[in-house]
A and B are shown apart, each in its own frame.
Chain A
Amino acid sequence: MEIIIDGKKVEAQYGETILEAAKRNDVYIPTLCHSEALPGLATCRLCMVEIVENGVTKRVASCSYPIQSEIEVVTDNEKLRRIRKTLLKLYYTMAPNSEMIRKLMEQQDVREFNRCKVDTENKCTLCGLCVKACETMGTNAIYTVFRGAAKKVGTPFDEPSEPCIGCGACASVCPTNAIEYLEENGTRAIWGKTFKMVQCKACGKYFATEEEIAYLYQKLGDDIDIKKCETCRKKANANRFIAAIKAEGF
């Protein structure tokens, strides 16, 4: 079907989100909590756009609003800019030292907002990506706990979480680098637990925790190859590819 984004006609598929259609057509919409692998959180609200659907104008989160009719989308106007600016002021009070927040502030032309308390220690914006990553992994080691202003991400009762395999998926999806972990001497410490790491069979680099490898074998079966680190696995695949095309005479 055809929709209009910022005055331009573009192709869209029924049911896909406005953000997906915009991205495919090179229209930029700012996001924070969006990850293509873990879509639909809709908590950061930076991706608000204005749409006209069945004659009604409304502002919606583009990352979760499904295209179900031939809508008209505006991604940038005075009202939307105001929403994003005010939102970023609040982000500043939450995580003023996050690089990501600073970048977004600069991009949206927002200055430091010091009327209210600013939490200089904090980097977490509670977007929920870490929890969703852990849930998608199937480990469910971390959750959001409490509600309202007291809400935070943590393990049950702040104790080391039994199901945690130290995979670090939470930290790698975090847009503000708020999840701390430490890797040294063949160990990884995260969420109050220290894991022994496994070395890559090819390059010797410590690349995953023992628990993570065991979990992957349990989920995916014994015939997968996870003895090497990601870089070496890619290298091996590339070499195999080169060998294959050489054998074909290229």
Chain B
Amino acid sequence: MQSSKRLTILVCCGPGCIANNSMQVYEAFKKHIAGSYLNVEVAMTVECECDKESSPAIKATGCHGLCEHGPLVTILPHDITYIKVKVEDVSEIIEKTVLKGEVVERLLYTDKIQKKKLVKRDEWTFYRKQKKVALRHVGLIDPGKIDEYLERDGYKALEKALKDMTRSEVIEEVKKSGLRGRGGGGFPTGLKWSFAAQAEGTCKYVICNGDEGDPGAFMDRAVLEGDGHAVLEGMVICGYAIGVDHGFLYIRDEYGLAVENMKRAIVAARERGFLGEHILGTGFSFDVEIVRGGGAFVCGEEMSLIRSIEGNTGEPVPKPPYPADKGLWGKPTVINNVETWTNVPVIINKGADYFRSIGTENSPGTKVFALVGKVNNTGLVEVPMGTTLREIIFEIGGGIPKGRKFKAVQTGGPSGGCIPEAKLDLPVDFDSLTAEGSMMGSGGMIVVDDRTCMVEFARYYLKFLSEESCGKCVPCRQGIKTMLEILTDICEGRGQEGDIDLLVEIGQMVQEASLCALGKSAPNPVLSNIANFRVEFEEHIKNKRCPAGVCKDLTAFYIDSKICVGCAVCAKRCPVGAISGDKKQLHVIDQGKCTKCGICMDNCQFHAVRVK
């Protein structure tokens, strides 16, 4: 992992781990190390490599990926990773691992697929199929220290571009790499740059879209928090290639740490001459400023984002003209997503051929996904394009928890479609997912099991979109509102015959007629769920029954007398005392008391609780 022999403790301080007190773990390491190495100032050990080879460096890094088991702590060069580390564990880790090189067995990760405890992170099934390109530094460096980025070839690509390549050679290299926009559209990045380069005028802009707003998605956040310089480097290279001196970094304001870390990265890059006037002593100047998004989902759409930077209401405007022609303040603008930018230095450094060697012919490179929902290993994963959904969910993701059955995976955030089990061998790339009525989106991947009602699932996303549609055009605003009304009726037992066809009719119109990508993709969850789970919709409408036991008005639970062993777990867990029965005897649900929360069903390990 790291060539240096110096003892290094990497504490994951990504969003998931911070929520589980990883900052306290990090502080505890600093405090305890100071105690163990009495003659060494810990702050010093982190700041400089100097000659104190014996003192460990402690780094608060970006996301390591396996959020489900955080906080994660990795100790190098031993390459030992611990999971779910608490403040109380720190002294033992220092005593045994740091000082003696021994392993603390109880903190090791148990790989359910290989059925054993594993010491080295790279051996975990979770990491084995991953390929880190965009996330190459995330989790390994302290994002607050530019030197750590520089040690790993940071800003080498910029130097190469500025000193050894012409502007058009840079654009050609990006074109040749086949890099496609990672924000969801999948438009060829190099082509976009060449349009902006050819556009008339000398005043042009570069924008980084960091307005990640999909529920359950945190890919861009991880990069902005964990490796901000990679984003900046990509932007400066583009600035050089298209002849621009100003860039904007649009970050959603809810990402406080990302904003903080990017601010620090910009200051550091300016100090070292990678941003500002006469970059690396050349005649090229470029600077970046941060714009904080106001919390509108639609501002992830490029035209809305541009309007928002201009100080206008975040609403899309018709395309064409495209931003590369007339963007920010009517000037040619290149706008790319965070993940797209981080790929750029790799392409310049290692060449387009290297990049093309990863992934598929039409979708080269890797893609980062936020793998969440009903899957054992929730977290941040990066895989080569073309990896199948099955590999991501059942190998990297470790399958479905509690022995339940996989039902569907939604790719592409709230506007993505659901893909059923029959299509799990689909390779993940831009074209395959779109062909299945879903989309790559920015990389959200939500796994659902058989306890998820597909009607309610679609309703949930339409509720989100009805609040987040900007409301400018009628198909999106009124179409989503109407579909939501129908779906709510279906979930609450008021579904009518003909509703499914009506949903399809409205959904198809919204796809065709909406002004921007938000509206065009908004019906995806409804249409793909109808296509793949039509029977479930029909059950709700005709038989007033929710097979998954989620829609409360259409659900009644019972306990199967053939399966129940009378363990009484359901009775103990029932929050309203609706379940009764003697020990080792059949238990019964009092329908009058039952609130249909489903806790009994989720906790019965024998699967004896059924939906009528």
Contacts and interface: CB of A to CB of B under 8 A. Distances in A.
Contacts of B298: 147
A115 interface: yes
Contacts of B509: 82-83, 86-87
A44 B513 CA distance: 9
A77 to B, nearest CB: 13
A245 interface: no
B190 interface: no
Interface in B351-366: none
Contact of B469 (A40, A83, A115, A148): A148
B320 A43 contact: no
Contacts, number: 105
A66 B506 CA distance: 27
Given A59-B513, A83-B512, A65 B320 contact: yes
A44 B474 contact: yes
Given A61-B515, A86-B505, A116-B482, A148 B471 contact: yes
Interface string A117-129: 1000000011010
B472 interface: yes
Nearest to A60: B318
Interface stretch (A90-98, A104-112, A157-165): A90-98
B477 A126 contact: yes
A48 interface: yes
Interface of B: 296, 298, 313, 317-318, 320-321, 465-475, 477-482, 485-486, 496, 498-499, 502, 505-506, 508-509, 512-515
Contacts of A82: 505, 508-509
B515 A43 contact: yes
Nearest to A68: B320
Interface string A128-154: 100000000000000110111111000
Contact of A115 (B317, B465, B502, B508): B502
Contacts of A86: 505-506, 508-509
A42 interface: yes
B477 A148 contact: yes
A66 B479 contact: no
A155 interface: no
A125 B478 CA distance: 10
A124 to B, nearest CB: 12
A45 B471 contact: no
B468 A148 contact: yes
Contacts of A75: none
Contacts of A144: 313, 471-472
Given A65-B320, A87-B475, A147-B468, A45 B515 contact: yes
A209 interface: no
Nearest to A145: B313
A64 interface: yes
B494 to A, nearest CB: 11
3 smallest CB-CB distances across A and B, nearest first, come from: A151-B471, A64-B318, A86-B509
A61 B499 CA distance: 28
A64 B513 CA distance: 13
Contact of A90 (B478, B486, B499): B478
B477 A83 contact: no
B438 to A, nearest CB: 21
A149 B513 contact: no
Contacts of A45: 473-475, 513-515
A43 B474 contact: yes
A40 B513 contact: no
Contact of B478 (A83, A94, A147): A94
A84 to B, nearest CB: 9
22 contacts: A42-B318, A42-B515, A45-B473, A48-B512, A68-B320, A86-B509, A90-B475, A90-B506, A91-B474, A93-B482, A94-B474, A126-B472, A144-B313, A146-B471, A148-B471, A148-B480, A149-B466, A149-B469, A149-B481, A150-B471, A151-B472, A151-B477
